[in-house]
Amino acid sequence: MADATLELLKELTEANGVPGYEGPVRDLVRKHLEPLGKLSQDKIGSVICQVEGSAETPKVMLAGHMDEIGFMVKHITKEGFLHFLPLGGWFDQVLLGQRVVIKTRMGDVVGVIGAKPPHLLPADQRNKVVKRKDMYIDIGATSKEEVEEAGVRPGDPVIPRADFVSLANGKTYLSKAFDDRVGVALIVSTLEQLKSFEHPNTVYGVATVQEEVGVRGATTSVRAVDPDVAIVLESDIAGDVPGIKPDESSVELGKGPTVLIYDARMIPNIKLRDFLMETAEEIEVPLQVSYIEGGATDGAAIHLHNTGVPTVVIGVAARHIHSDSSIIHRGDYDNAVKLLVEIIKRLDADKVAEFTA
Ligand SMILES: [Zn+2]
């Protein structure tokens, strides 16, 4: 039997869309949201899907960012190699040997990220980390002219080339861009489920742009929506891999979605946070607590909109985040949808007023 959720995650993560170049993934997001509500867009490209419930207010914003980390062609050397700018935060050690796709006006060009081979490095440098500025993209050309003939120009976006794989246990998935296509998928799945329920509010599912370069689409789309309450949907950092201490992250794959109690740019509204935790307990959805000292989410912009918006972040844990291959657990995804639907059903005017009382 076809698994619609698996197909959605595959389609969304395999789509291209680095910050500022979200076109391909945006088309896909629009296709999925079109049947679910009224679509609009802010002027830098965030997609907003308005779903009416039994009351006009409160306005509930669900936000997930559709951009993914990638690069941009910066400069072409006369020998035919490409220097690149990062779009978003990369863990530089995962870059070497990575295959990439350059989106040019003449079509896709495949390349690989290279650096000076270890055999040619002096002994004292061989064990050192190669810096990103010493790397380049090689498309197999032998001159600048060949690169230009392939259609490559400075300003072209560069995307990791990676496909979606359902892993051996059948419960975990490997792909690029779970940060944050998993959040975008959660919006689609939740709005689909909501069609079968009454909800005392209007829901705005928002796929934001340019989160990875400083929550830019959240900053503009929150003005378009002007929400009364917001739930940010994000990938979270799994701590269940070698070398991570519980006080750095105690989040494990398959143990439920997460609620973020702290990040570098937002402290969630505590009444909303507690409401979320109580609801999860009541409906028996496992929920993990997470804290990210060195990162932020779209919540950074959303909770400071106007005079402030009660905001919380729900996450799906991913291993190897900010690389081209991360892993999530299907159970965490399904539980996140279940929790979101229940929360939205309960967010009426009185409940939302309590968060700021
Ligand atoms: Zn993210």
Expressed in angstroms and rounded, the spacing between residue 309 Cα and the centre of ligand 1 is: 20
Catalytic residue set:
211
Report yes or no: 276 and 268 within 8 Å, Cβ to Cβ. Answer: no
Give the predicted TM-score (pTM) of the model.
0.96
Delineate the domains of the chain, giving CATH numbers in brackets: 4-68+176-355 (3.40.630.10), 71-160 (2.40.30.40)
> What is the distance in A from the centroid of ligand 1 to the CA of 70?
13
pLDDT digits (tens, 9 = 90+) for 83-139: 999 999 888 888 999 999 999 999 999 999 998 777 777 777 777 888 888 999 999
For tokens 């370069």, the residue is 213
Structure tokens, 205: 């599912």
Supply the pLDDT for residue 129.
81
- Looking at residue 220, what is its pLDDT? 98
Tell me the pLDDT band of 248, cut-offs 50, 70 and 90: confident
Band (1; pLDDT cuts 50, 70, 90): low
Say how many Å lie between the CA of residue 297 and the centre of ligand 1: 6
CA–centroid distance, 256 to ligand 1, in Å, is: 18
- Output the CA torsion sign for 25, 187, 276, 200: positive
In the block, tokens 């989160």 appear at 211
Distance 78 CA to ligand 1 centre (A): 36
Residue 88 C-alpha to ligand 1 middle, in angstroms?
Answer: 10
Instruction: Identify the pLDDT of residue 324.
Output: 86
Mean pLDDT of the chain: 95
For residue 298, the CA-to-ligand 1 centroid distance in Å is 8
- The pLDDT tens digits of the residues spanning 279-299 come to 999 999 999 999 988 899 999
Q: How far is CA 272 from CA 240, 288, 342, in A?
A: 27, 16, 14
Separation between Cα atoms, residue 144 and residue 21, nearest integer Å: 25
